[in-house]
A and B are shown apart, each in its own frame.
Chain A
């Protein structure tokens, strides 16, 4: 489980520091780009503040950092200070021009923390910082995968129409224009009503006359766009069966475990992978035409392997095989993709940083 620090605010007392949102290069869609208009300015601290939190019940602070060095002589890059501890970063432990995943042990940070300071920043670098939060791997790690996949995958059903009559708050049905789309709206379709001004509401049909499972909670006027979507559902949706649907289910779980060493900003931790999870992702749709269209979209966007964010970290998931099941006994056609992935490893032991090694060497040659 990973949670981003809440209400993050970036600031610096230096007038020369520039902090901006950067969307071209990011882990989760937008990162902070930090650089200096005057590289000789003395005050070089940047402070990230957030809602107060005690981190001792979590394992690590997790963040991604990338940097660009403008001169080759730079070795010491910056330090991070949090809860009175300082962690130094240099060119030997962070790679230039690529995202570096940094983990800081927080299991002993018993004080309420409201800030993290980037300090001693080298003269000639630009920093990019992204996806900052805290995490702990629990026994719910398998469902963490399913939840993260649910939020990562989306497909475009590509069917839209309009409201034929106003929809008022509390209405239990809506009137939509079925012209040309009757084959693609089912009695259990999920729709998005969009007023074009920022209000979007998701509603579920329970028949093809426009009756809704739950009443409308916003007002929409006739002419508002109505999109049929392909919702993503996981194992626990037995009571709701949308058509179309992208389903994510677990089909297998391995118990093979193995140890791993996870480097921290200071020291390392010994963790244990608890076994591989077999995940089937399927697209199930009464329209074969739409199923084929969404399968092709899936193949292009996700396919044999893709990255997604799990417990604050970019991980890769790999496909084992895929099977297409046609409509043969009245069933909806279905495309199924089978993947294997290991959940994040579980903590075994803290390995303190080694600062001094004393070795006594005796020669055997005499």
Chain B
């Protein structure tokens, strides 16, 4: 067995220590998580716009009301409102929508983009019976001239959990690893 002896001087050790500190600061910074969140946000927006998440198709009713395009791709310009935001302890939120501003194409004053994103994720049912149901029927007639059959009980909107579907493709393409590598390379160089 051959033992190789390497002489390390104080200047090399100091440089090594500096590099370690630099690496530590880089990988623990909030900036890297913001970059990761941004990458995921951009990927999700692209996938939705290109109709590549396999989301449930629009019903004939929604197509009549809002035109024939892929679900979520333009509704209320929601995707433009998908942002990244710093979170506690150095983390970052990739799907932050905020609670400011109403959703224009729905025309509901109380509806925020966060509400809309949640409703897309869970799906929902709007009762068409009772007092509340009457108000909904009147609204649809006034806005779109739509009459629902008397025996129709609910408007049913299926779940379209676009972020859960997006994260799957994002992980499969190892884009998170890529953005981390790129970030470190950018900060530390190739040394």
Contacts and interface: CB of A to CB of B under 8 A. Distances in A.
Interface in A310-337: 320-321, 323-326, 328-332, 334-336
Interface string B151-183: 101101011110011001000100000000000
Contact of A329 (B126, B130, B158, B168): B126
A277 B67 CA distance: 31
A342 interface: no
Interface string A247-274: 0010110101000000000000000000
B123 A336 contact: yes
B110 A188 contact: no
A328 B43 CA distance: 29
Contacts of B106: 329
B135 interface: yes
Interface in B68-123: 106, 108, 110-111, 115, 118-119, 121-123
B156 A331 contact: no
B110 A325 contact: no
Measured as residues with beta carbon below 8 angstroms from the partner, the interface class of chain B is 20 to 34
A282 B165 contact: no
B115 A338 contact: no
A145 interface: no
Contacts of A188: 129, 153
Nearest to B167: A320
A320 B118 CA distance: 15
B135 A249 contact: no
Nearest to B110: A328
Contact of A332 (B118, B127, B151): B127
A330 B135 contact: yes
A335 B74 CA distance: 26
A324 B164 CA distance: 15
Contact of B119 (A251, A278, A328): A328
Name, among B124, B130, B172, the residue most crowded by chain A CB atoms within 10 Å (CB to CB).
B124
A280 B125 contact: no
A328 B111 contact: yes
B158 A187 contact: no
A59 interface: no
Interface in B2-58: 54
A249 B161 CA distance: 12
Given A284-B125, A325-B119, A336 B111 contact: no
Given A330-B126, A330-B136, A331-B126, A251 B161 contact: yes
Contacts of A284: 124-125
Contact of B159 (A282, A286, A328, A332): A282
B108 A325 contact: no
Given A320-B164, A328-B110, A328-B119, A251 B124 contact: no
Nearest to A254: B168
A284 B119 CA distance: 12
A243 interface: yes
9 contacts: A207-B129, A238-B156, A243-B154, A249-B123, A251-B164, A278-B161, A329-B115, A332-B124, A332-B125
Considering the complex of A and B, which 6 residue pairs feature the smallest CB-CB distances, nearest first?
Answer: A336-B122, A331-B124, A325-B122, A241-B154, A328-B115, A187-B129
Interface of B: 54, 106, 108, 110-111, 115, 118-119, 121-127, 129-130, 132, 135-136, 151, 153-154, 156, 158-161, 164-165, 168, 172
